[in-house]
């Protein structure tokens, strides 16, 4: 093995150990013995003259130097993958590992099917599909693509908008029975279920002409989980602002109603974030194209607006 490849192998082992939090788990993933993986880590630390991980009886933790190296190692390995793909994969096939982090509800209800269709169309892709609504440390998680509703709090990443979410005010028919029809002046009398971090005690809606309605309803339930909001609204605990893609079936079945059809909450962007690179691997660029095309077919999600 050449020295260059040997260095890449050391970095690959280090990155996998950081991802898995375990030398033995990383060794299994890479087809190495635990002793070999441990030697790789020790050799990398020797070459850099730094302690990259703190070892305890039950876990590993990256040192500040290890955190810095992890980001650089991912970028280098990503660049190597792109070079190898460009020069070795002349057939243009879509292959290799692809790890995606996606929001829980959208990732479970719609994006999971979109991702599965992509993998089935490209069986040489090995897909890892993680669902997480919280901000992530991209370098630590070790993903190729992070799909997030709303802003991406990481200025080191390339961010591409892949869709826009329509949001409306919905409630159960029983809750609004005494308010028929609900008007802009009476809506503030309804209790509301708030989904943080998108809504709080101050609700802002806008009509087609750009006029704003701002009011401060009584918050009956506040939660950071969209499924909990949905259950509370179905039970009549309050009205809520929810994305159309999440409630379209309830609207069609009459379980929920769009109580202010002339007003909408601000659209939310669906973003895909990834590491900057001179050339994206085929598997990532193909996945981004596929998910952008397919997500626009979901009710309540519009294609990105032209730049």
pLDDT one-digit tens code per residue, 80-115: 766 666 665 556 678 888 999 999 999 999 999 999
Number of domains in the chain: 2
Q: Please tell me whether residue 19 adopts helix, strand or coil conformation.
A: helix
pLDDT band at 1 (very low <50, low <70, confident <90, very high): very low
**150 Cβ contact partners less than 8 Å away, ≥ 6 residues apart:** 197, 198, 268, 269, 271
User: Rounded to an integer, what distance in angstroms lies between the CA atom of residue 29 and that of residue 13?
Assistant: 10
The answer to whether the CB of 294 falls within 8 A of the CB of 114 is yes
From 88, 118, 135, the end of a domain falls on 88
Mean pLDDT along residues 249-253: 97
306 and 264 share one domain: yes
Which pLDDT score is estimated for 4? 47
* DSSP, res 305: P
Which whole-number Å values give the CA distances from 211 to 110, 265, 292, in the listed order?
Answer: 32, 12, 31
21 and 104 share one domain: no
Beta bridge pairs of residue 239: 192
User: Rounded to an integer, what distance in angstroms lies between the CA atom of residue 103 and that of residue 201?
Assistant: 24
Which pLDDT score is estimated for 191? 93
Residue 260, CA atoms < 13 Å, CB-side half-sphere: 24
Q: Which has the higher per-residue pLDDT, 291 or 208? A: 291
173 and 63 share one domain: no
Q: Which of 275-279, 287-291, 299-303 has the lowest mean pLDDT?
A: 275-279
Q: Is 163 exposed, middle or buried (0-12, 13-18, 19+ CB in 10 A)?
A: buried
Mean pLDDT along residues 240-250: 96
131 and 243 share one domain: yes
Report whether pLDDT(173) > 90.
Answer: yes
Report whether pLDDT(277) > 90.
Answer: no
29 and 63 share one domain: yes
What domain range includes position 229? Answer: 93-307
Model's pTM, two decimal places? 0.74
68 and 195 share one domain: no
List, for residues 124-147, the tens digit of each pLDDT value: 999 999 999 988 887 677 788 999
Domain with residue 56: its CATH number is 1.10.10.10
169 and 242 share one domain: yes
Beta bridge pairs of residue 170: 240, 258
* DSSP, res 62: E
218 and 98 share one domain: yes
74 and 114 share one domain: no
List, for residues 202-216, the tens digit of each pLDDT value: 889 999 899 999 988
Which token pair is 13?
Answer: 């082992």
Mean pLDDT along residues 273-285: 80
The answer to whether the CB of 286 falls within 8 A of the CB of 279 is no
Q: Please tell me whether residue 113 adopts helix, strand or coil conformation.
A: helix
Give which of 24, 35, 33, 32 is closest to 60, Cα–Cα. Answer: 24
**210 Cβ contact partners less than 8 Å away, ≥ 6 residues apart:** none
Strand residues in the chain grouped as ranges (E): 53-55, 60-62, 96-102, 125-131, 145-149, 158-171, 192-195, 203-207, 212-215, 219-223, 240-243, 257-258, 263-274, 301-302
Which pLDDT score is estimated for 66? 86
Percent with pLDDT over 70 in the chain: 91
Domain with residue 203: its CATH number is 3.40.190.290
282 and 241 share one domain: yes
Give which of 303, 268, 294 is closest to 148, Cα–Cα. Answer: 268
Which pLDDT score is estimated for 178? 74
Angle at 75 between CA 71 and CA 77, to 5 degrees: 115
From 36, 64, 88, the end of a domain falls on 88
198 and 65 share one domain: no
From 73, 88, 103, the end of a domain falls on 88
98 and 84 share one domain: no
Give which of 262, 255, 264, 263 is closest to 175, Cα–Cα. Answer: 255
| Residue whose entry in the numeric block shows the structure tokens 């013995």 | 33
Which pLDDT score is estimated for 20? 77
């Amino acid at each position: 093995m050449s020295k260059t490849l040997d260095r890449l192998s050391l970095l690959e082992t280090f990155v996998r150990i950081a991802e898995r939090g375990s030398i033995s788990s990383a060794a299994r993933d890479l087809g190495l013995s635990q002793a070999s993986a441990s030697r790789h880590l020790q050799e990398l630390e020797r070459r850099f003259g730094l302690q990259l991980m703190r070892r305890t009886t039950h876990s590993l933790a990256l040192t500040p130097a290890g955190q810095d190296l992890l980001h650089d190692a991912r970028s280098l390995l990503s660049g190597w993958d792109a070079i190898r793909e460009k020069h070795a994969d002349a057939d243009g096939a879509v292959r290799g590992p692809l790890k995606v982090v996606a929001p829980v509800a959208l990732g479970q209800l719609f994006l999971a099917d979109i991702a599965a269709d992509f993998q089935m169309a490209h069986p040489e892709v090995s897909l890892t599909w993680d669902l997480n609504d919280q901000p992530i440390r991209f370098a630590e998680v070790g993903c190729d693509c992070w799909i997030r509703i709303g802003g991406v709090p990481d200025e080191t990443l390339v961010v591409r908008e892949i869709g826009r979410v329509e949001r409306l005010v919905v409630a159960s028919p029983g809750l609004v029975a005494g308010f028929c029809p609900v008007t802009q002046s009476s809506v503030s009398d309804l209790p509301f279920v708030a989904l943080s971090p998108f809504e709080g005690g101050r609700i802002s809606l806008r009509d087609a002409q750009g006029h704003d309605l701002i009011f401060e309803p009584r918050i009956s339930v506040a939660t950071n989980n969209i499924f909990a909001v949905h259950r509370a609204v179905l039970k009549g605990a309050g009205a809520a602002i929810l994305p159309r893609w999440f409630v379209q079936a309830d609207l069609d079945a009459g379980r929920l109603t769009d109580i202010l059809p002339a007003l909408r909450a601000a659209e939310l962007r669906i973003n895909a974030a990834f590491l900057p690179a001179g050339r994206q691997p085929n598997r990532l660029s193909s996945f981004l194209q596929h998910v952008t095309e397919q997500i626009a077919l979901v009710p309540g999600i519009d294609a990105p607006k032209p730049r």
